Structure 1
Amino acid sequence: MSFSKNTRDFTFSRSVVHGALATYIETGQSVKNPVQCLDISIDNEEGDKWINTFGSSVIVLKSKTQLNTSTGTDGIVPGSTESNYALIEKSDFNFIYIECTTEGSSYFDCVFRKIARNGMFVLTTSDDPALYGRPPEPALRCYGGLISRTFYAPELAVRLVAAAMAR
């Protein structure tokens, strides 16, 4: 079985996301039942896994799919060909998963407006040039800070993203 580079990049993070959603459903922290999930990923594979694993505990809206895709017990999975930003603005979601290959900071405003109380937001990125620290201007523009060349630069990048989310 061959995997594309993007699939290999996200294998670990997708496993963590799946576990986080399972725990979120199990603990009952969601204000909506069933949990309303939004899957904005490269191949929408996660949304299909959630439906197969959690069944009627989740309602999944996937991006960039054909409408009326047949899976699960209901036979219909809602999908959309709208832009990701328009899709986020459609409704309040309990669980938002965004898998991007560019800068993730562009999603912060619309996600934090539409995430429900006690909701979860998961953002994975494999190639955010702003977090590499060369040149420093993208990090300053996207996240409001600079990453210097140190041995703990990855930790600085995580802290910079968390600070941007808090703002």
Structure 2
Amino acid sequence: DFPTEIVVEGDVRVLVPKLEAYKTKAWEYAPSKAPVFYNPAMEMNRDIAVLALQAYGRKVPHGLVVSEPLAGCGVRGVRFAVEVDNVEKVAMNDINPLAVRMIEYNIRLNGVEGKASAENKDANLFLSQYAAPRVRFDYIDVDPFGSPVPYLDSAVRALRNGGLIALTATDMAPLCGVHPNASLRKYGGKPLRTEYCHEIAVRLLIGSLVFAAAKHEMGVKPALAYAVNHYCRLYAFIRHGARRADESIRRMGYILHCFNCLHRETHIGIVPRLEWKCPNCGSVMEAAGPLWLGELSDEGFCESTVREAERRELKESKRIMRLLSLIKGESGGPATYYTIDKICDKHNLRIPPLKSVITKIREKGFKAVPTHFNSRGVRTDAPSRVVKEAVEESL
């Protein structure tokens, strides 16, 4: 009915829309124009999903039952069925009947008819069918075009106790503070346009999941979270129990930021007592939140995912390994990071090598590691004054 082509991704061959046929201008975003959604630029996202699911699957004593409620052409779900060892069943869904036909074709093309299935329903309706205790999923991957928030409620209800949820958010403009009201409406938290806005985006995403899960007396434990390119991605364990929900809410709070001297501080609590005056320069600070202030990733899960990456040959292997290594290195670090460029711009300094700045900060007795969020960023518990000194000493 429309132009298609066979592409190879990971270990699978899949039929996808021929995107060139829907691109009339060089700058057009073809995936959104095609009759069935397929975005080749998200291959690394899908690669990491395969690695994360395999890492999770090795710790689960039974065959995994997996769901992709917004499957598009089905490439992700088919890859799960083919590439992840202990996947027992992959339930895919899309509201677009053309997409379902394409998913069914791709299931047959890869010989996973016994493992994978496709339904043609609204995503929330599809997930709600699996909310009863004995039919829930071990893993749900919510990968929408835009925000995953409309699907959080039905997703957490359809996930078993201890299950893993994966979320993609591509609406980075609201999350990064370009449209703060949109972020407040969707994610229940206020962003800030700071140099670490991508981290704030991830923390707002986790925060929205915390509140969605808490309504059902479930707690959230992030396993792996990152932001690259035009999206942020979260893998989190959902654990049942009011106490766990309360524990998650206790890790919510606010980040105060001084746009004058770049000082920042965190305040735990939904209604904390905030001192708006910057202790460093006396300016009035601005707040982001409520958002998640706990760990963004679990070091053990990162390590397991790295091991899975080492076992496979993927197109983006080097990039994935570097990303996962940086995320692992950041585990246990403080909230927010500094970017060398911003400090240098603020104080009219030349930009020194990042490694040199990190060394200088460590010499002053503080922790400092590079961050995956920004290639010129440093995650450190040092105050802004010390970071500035380290930059100056590195010139």
| Alignment TM class, shorter chain as reference | 0.7 to 0.9
Deviations 1:50-90 (A, max 9, x none): 21224663200111323695343555732111011111112
Native 8 Å contact 2:66 2:139 kept in 1: yes
Answer 1 or 2: higher relative contact order, Cα 8 Å, separation at least 6.
1
Q: Structure 2 vs 1, CA of residues 104 and 130 (structure 1 numbering), >3 Å: closer, same or farther?
A: farther
Determine the structure 1 residue equivalent to 2:51.
19
Q: Aligned partners of 2:79 and 2:73: how far apart in 1?
A: 12
Amino acid at match of 2:186: C
The 3-state SS of whatever aligns with 1:59 is: strand
Residue of structure 2 aligned with 1:87, choices 126, 136, 153 = 126
If you compute each CA radius of gyration, which structure gives the higher value, 1 or 2? Answer: 2
The aligned counterpart of 2:357 is none
CA contact (8 A) 1:38 1:61 kept: yes
2:79 paired with 1:49 = yes
Of 115, 132, 135, the match for 2:176: 132
The 2-side partners of 1:103 and 1:15 are apart by 21
Q: Which amino acid aligns with 2:182?
A: P
Root mean square deviation, CA, Å: 2.5
Distance 2:64 2:160 in 1: 10
Contact map agreement 1:133 1:147 (CA 8 A) in 2: yes
| Aligned mate of 1:35, from 36, 50, 64 | 64
Counterpart for residue 235 of structure 2: none
Aligned to 2:204: 160
Using a 3 Å threshold, how does the CA distance of structure 1 residues 16 and 108 change in structure 2: closer, same or farther?
Answer: same
CA distance in 2, matches of 1:72, 1:151: 47
Identity of aligned residues (%): 20
> Which residue pairs with 2:111 in the alignment?
72
Length-normalised TM-score, structure 1: 0.85
Where does residue 58 of structure 1 map in the other structure? 88
Name the structure where strand makes up a greater proportion of residues: 2
TM-score, structure 2 normalization: 0.38
1:107 to 145, 148, 151: 151
Listed one character per residue, the Cα deviations across residues 110-161 of structure 1 (whole Å, up to 9, x for unaligned) are 1111110111100113335431322211100011111111101111111111
Match of 2:193?
149
The structure that is helix-richer by fraction is: 1
Q: Does structure 1 retain, via aligned residues, the 8 Å contact 2:142–2:168?
A: yes
- Taking the aligned partners of 1:102 and 1:73, their CA distance within structure 2 comes to 29
Give CA-to-partner distance per residue, 1:33-66, whole Å, 9 cap, x none.
3211012333210111121224663200111323
Aligned length: 164
Task: Tell me, in whole angstroms, the C-alpha distance in 2 between the residues paired with 1:108 and 1:155.
Answer: 20
> 1:12-32 deviations in whole A, cap 9, x for unaligned?
211111001111111226xxx
Aligned CA distance change for structure 1 residues 166 and 147 (closer, same or farther; 3 Å) = same
Q: Which amino acid aligns with 1:83?
A: D
Are residues 78 and 21 of structure 1, via their aligned partners in 2, closer, same or farther at CA, if it must alter by over 3 Å?
A: same
Letter in 2 for 1:22: Q
